[in-house]
Amino acid sequence: MLKARRMVRNHATRPIPPYFLVPAVLAGVGVLLPLVYLLLRAFEADPKTLAELVLRERNLRLLVNTLLLALGVVAGTTLLALPLAWLTARSDLRGQRFLALLLVLPLAIPGYVGAFALLGASGPGGLIHALTGIPWPRPSGYWGALGVLVLFTYPYLFLNLRSALLGLDPSLEEAARSLGYRGGEVFFKVVLPQLRPALYAGWLLVGLHVLGDFGVVSLMRFETFSYAIYLQYSASFDRIYAAWLSLMLLVLTAGLLLAEARLLRGLSLSRVGLGSARKARAVALGGWRWPALGLVVCTLGAALVVPGATIVYWVFRWPGDYNRGLEGIVQSFLHSAQASAPAAILAALLALPLAYLGVRFPSAFSRALERTAYLGYTVPPLAFALALIFFSLRAVPFLYQTLALLVLAYSLHFLAEAIGPIRSALYQASPRLEEAARSLGYSPVGAFMKASLPIIRRGVVASMALVFLSSIKELPLTFLLAPVGFDTLATRIWGYTSEAMFAEAAPYALLIAFFSALFVGLLLSQERKT
């Protein structure tokens, strides 16, 4: 451990190589510059117009709608994820690992595909009507958006809570029982307080997802800041108001990040005694076994079975010419890949110097650059897209509505996803290997290419896969930044579903769900091998 610290210290005292520093700074500037242009655009209005824009009654309604939806989804995911995490981590339920894998799979289904599935399953002619003869009312508005977002975001919280439960020391619970506490009291007074970091992390992810969501709220016709930004930009020439809506959404996002940081400040839940933690003894469910299985089955049915069955049902009801339909599907897939593949490569190239500086040259400067990359990820997609539009129109107008701008948006927005796997791989690559290579006469770049790159190659591939998958599913950025006539799988699904053309949307939804599930499976299998 002392040797490792000395090596890090020695690297930190060396000057940062320009071939890593310059790309890292450019990546940080690439994230910040569009946001600066968004701010400048917002303040172009004169004071009177500015006061009118900010103090509109509609803004208060948007704020209430957005906060109510975020709080409702956080509460709903907690009520769903907490018992599911406990059942798959601490109970005697059989097949816990397999059930946990199934309960994570809804992450592979984009929210707008989930909305398409629930809309296609309900209403006249839907799957429920075909099976039961009952025209189940279609979800819409607040409750429709709430239901869809809870079903397809709870895995974020489930993963955090299950990991925390598996890592808890059972001696704490045993000590509480020895003091006379019973099962429910032990959970609420001992276990639940230990889960606070996992809850905060999961709530942050869910909250950021809800604040940035466009597909679900637009299909459910529930007006939040994200939906209003799109409507204001696409149906009006008042771009300054759209910029202010974006800034208001950014304030909500910043408030969420600050709240999570404040809740975690000074929190310490580590062991202070000697010895090693033991695995907790499984709790016998007894008579609660069937209700527990019912909760698992209902969740999987609503989040996996119903969407899958609905997509297949509408695929077989497709009314058009299959040959022409296949051409449209192939073209949309190629468009998606045409934007996502370069974005994945560019994101990995930008993430590599950022991760390298953070690991090999830790400092306040390298941490600031890395946090800037994460800022691009936490900015809601529509606000980030609008910032890039203002930047391109003012600084580089030839990029406006081009594929290059869309690729740049994908890579900058998902840059944080690319950093994680590369940084983890760099921690496993000893800096002494590069030093040995340089002692053999290799240049600094050659030493990195020969000694470190082969070791971190798996991390680079994983980062590209994550960005590629996220870009394939991305809807808001594509809507505002794609070239005219550049339809992707995501935009086709949204376009057909918004017009209640469920049969036409079904093949695209099937392809993107299958593709997403395949990538999630590959990443999970890769993680198990690692």
Average pLDDT over residues 51-67: 84
Q: Minimum mean pLDDT among 161-170, 342-351, 424-433: which range?
A: 424-433
- pLDDT number for residue 521: 66
- Comparison of pLDDT for 126 and 471, the residue scoring more: 471
Give the mean pLDDT of 330-359.
88
Tell me which CATH homologous superfamily contains domain 56-266+284-317.
Answer: MetI-like (1.10.3720.10)
Distance CA 319, CA 395 (A): 46
pLDDT of residue 276: 47
Q: What is the pLDDT of residue 9?
A: 46
What is the structure's pLDDT at 277? 53
The per-residue pLDDT for 202 is 84
Helix (H) or strand (E) segment spanning residue 284: none
Q: What is the per-residue pLDDT for 520?
A: 67
pLDDT at 529 over 60: no
What's the pLDDT band for 149 if we cut at 50, 70, 90?
very high
Nearest to 314 by CA among 504, 100, 109, 136: 504
Q: H/E/C letters for each residue in 238-263?
A: CHHHHHHHHHHHHHHHHHHHHHHHHH
pLDDT-derived band of residue 225, with 50, 70 and 90 as boundaries?
A: confident
Contact 260, 203 (CB under 8 A): yes
Give the residue among 217, 215, 219 at the shortest CA–CA distance from 122. 219
Across residues 251-261, what is the average pLDDT?
80
Is there a shared CATH topology between the 1-10+17-55+321-530 domain and the 56-266+284-317 domain?
Answer: yes
As a whole number, mean pLDDT of residues 327-338 equals 87
pLDDT-wise least confident of 18-32, 215-229, 268-282, 369-383: 268-282
Long-range CB contact pairs, 141-146, < 8 A, 24+: 141/220, 141/221, 141/222, 142/65, 142/68, 142/69, 142/72, 142/222, 144/115, 144/118, 144/220, 144/222, 145/69, 145/216, 145/217, 145/220, 145/222, 146/69, 146/72, 146/73, 146/76
Which string of b and e fits 285-318 if b means at least 16 CB within 10 Å?
Answer: eeeeeeebeeebeebbebbbebbbbbbebbeeee
Say what the pLDDT of residue 275 is: 44
Residue 24: name the closest of 244, 272, 351 by CA.
351
Q: Is there a contact between 214 and 475 (Cβ–Cβ < 8 Å)?
A: yes
Rounded to whole angstroms, the Cα distance separating 489 from 113 reads: 11
Q: Give the domain ranges of the chain.
A: 1-10+17-55+321-530, 56-266+284-317
Residues 170-179, mean pLDDT to the nearest whole number: 66
- What is the mean pLDDT of the segment spanning 176-203? 73
Higher pLDDT, 440 or 258: 258
* From the candidate CATH numbers 3.30.70.20, 3.60.20.10, 1.10.520.10, 1.10.3720.10, the one assigned to the domain spanning 1-10+17-55+321-530: 1.10.3720.10
User: Could you give the angle at the alpha carbon of 407 between the alpha carbons of 403 and 413, nearest 5°?
Assistant: 140
- Which pLDDT score is estimated for 406? 92
Q: Which residue has the higher pLDDT, 315 or 326?
A: 315
Q: Give the confidence band of 269 by pLDDT, cuts at 50, 70, 90.
A: low
pLDDT on residue 434: 66
pLDDT in tens, 474-502: 888 898 888 888 889 989 998 888 888 88
- Look at 49 and 357; give whichever has higher pLDDT: 357
Closest CA to 62 of 208, 231, 215, 207: 231
Mean pLDDT over all residues of the chain? 80
pLDDT of residue 457: 77
Residue 272's pLDDT is: 47
pLDDT band of residue 297 (cuts 50, 70, 90) is very high
User: How do residues 391-446 score in pLDDT, each as one tens digit?
Assistant: 888 888 888 889 999 999 999 988 888 887 787 777 766 677 666 766 776 666 66
Give the model's pLDDT for residue 144. 92
The 10s digit of each residue's pLDDT in 373-399 is 777 787 888 888 888 888 888 888 888
Residues 4-15: pLDDT tens digits?
Answer: 444 444 444 566
pLDDT band of residue 68 (cuts 50, 70, 90) is very high
Contact 510, 315 (CB under 8 A): yes
pLDDT of 132 strictly over 70: yes
What's the pLDDT score for residue 7? 46
Average pLDDT value for residue range 344-372: 82
Residue 143 has pLDDT above 90, yes or no: yes
Q: What is the mean pLDDT of residues 200-220?
A: 88
The yes-or-no verdict on residue 151 having pLDDT over 90 is yes
pLDDT at 343 over 90: yes
| Structural contact between residues 87 and 296, judged by C-beta atoms closer than 8 angstroms | yes
- Give the pLDDT confidence score for residue 528 in this predicted structure: 52
Q: Could you give the percent of the chain with pLDDT greater than 90?
A: 12
What does the alpha-carbon distance between residue 272 and residue 76 come to, in Å, rounded to a whole number?
Answer: 35
Are 203 and 311 a contacting pair, CB within 8 Å?
A: no
pLDDT over 70 percentage in the chain: 81
Q: Token pair for residue 227?
A: 């939906």
